[in-house]
Amino acid sequence: MTKQTADSISISDELRARIRNARRVFVLTGAGVSAESGVPTFRGGGASAVWKGLPFEVISSAEMVERDLGAVWEWFDYRLDSLGHVEPNPAHRTIARWQDRFEDFTLVTQNIDGLHAAAGSREVLELHGNIRRARCVKCEAREALDKMNAEPRPPVCRACGGAMRPDVVLFGELLPADVFRVAAERAAACELCFVVGTSAIVYPAAQLPLVARRAGAYLVEINPEPTPLSELCHETIAGRAGEVLPVLDA
Ligand code: OAD
């Protein structure tokens, strides 16, 4: 895999032709797609891995919701606050355009930052939830955080009065089964699958490109670094998502 800079990104004729002819396209994104917007990634030099001395996996865990929901909110409010001035980058915007370019287009993300929607993507399958939403721990009612007051924390559920938690998947929790099922079905039905900015080590999300590949899709990875998936891809483009995706779209 050779590293490419913005002016040296070369796209194979094969991939160009596939993009021209594809009808069913599937994109899986991870933290790397938002890196150029200034959102830290989790791995590879990410800056958000520790909060008040607690490792990310501890503060962002199902156990912490039971033990100290206030601390979980403090951490997620901090993260939400740090997203306040963050804007979508050319990668998010290219992916948003693809929903109208391809006949059957699926976007699946592991990100909770909401930047795909902010860029105009209409249907985003969010495997790990959304930081801008709360969910009742008792009755599962969901509510957008911008429709609720900043206080109290934890927010109180309007439907049943229960305590609410961030509507995100935490360590020790399962993914929303319905969202994952639809994502897996779409992966199995696509012709062309792009894997953008994910370390591809967190399962079951990392399984989706394998589902696509097994079903016969052409698999393309966009990531400046190699991942465990790289060797299974038909093509790997070693560059930054915000630089590579607009070139693919040209
Ligand atoms: P990671 O932080 O594990 O990986 C980010 C990937 O993005 C790495 O492979 C980087 O090389 C790549 N990258 C960095 N900058 C990039 C750029 N400009 N363009 C393209 N790629 C770039 O993030 P994820 O794979 O998304 O889960 O992590 C998966 C899950 O692990 C997260 O959703 C989170 C975490 O535990 C939960 O919170 C449930």
Q: Is 4 in the pocket of ligand 1 (CB under 6 A)?
A: no
**Shortest-distance Cα residue to atom 15 of ligand 1:** 32
d(CA 207, CA 44): 21
The atom number, within ligand 1, closest to the CA of 30 reads 26
pLDDT digits (tens, 9 = 90+) for 95-126: 999 999 999 999 999 999 999 999 999 999 99
Rounded to whole angstroms, the Cα distance separating 221 from 209 reads 10
According to the model, what pLDDT value does residue 46 have?
44
> So what's the pLDDT on residue 41?
87
Q: How far apart are CA 102 and CA 19, in angstroms?
A: 9
pLDDT tens-place string over residues 20-62: 999 999 999 999 999 999 998 887 654 456 778 888 889 899 9
Residues 85, 92, 128, 234: which is the catalytic one? 128
Residue 186, classed as helix, strand or coil, is helix
Task: Give the model's pLDDT for residue 7.
Answer: 65
Q: Of all atoms in ligand 1, which is nearest to the CA of residue 201?
A: 25
Mutation to probe ligand 1, out of 36, 202, 207, 220 (largest number of atoms < 8 A from CB)? 202
* Ligand 1 contact via 97 beta carbon (within 6 Å): no
Decide: 57 in ligand 1 pocket, CB within 6 A: no
Ligand 1 proximity of 41 Cβ (cutoff 6 Å): yes
Positions of the chain with pLDDT lower than 70, given as ranges = 1-7, 44-49
111 CA closest ligand 1 atom index: 33
| Catalytic residue flag (residue 116) | no
**Which residue, by CA, sits nearest to atom 6 of ligand 1?**
198
CB 223, CB 4: distance < 8 Å: no
Is residue 210 within 8 Å of residue 195, measured between CB atoms? no
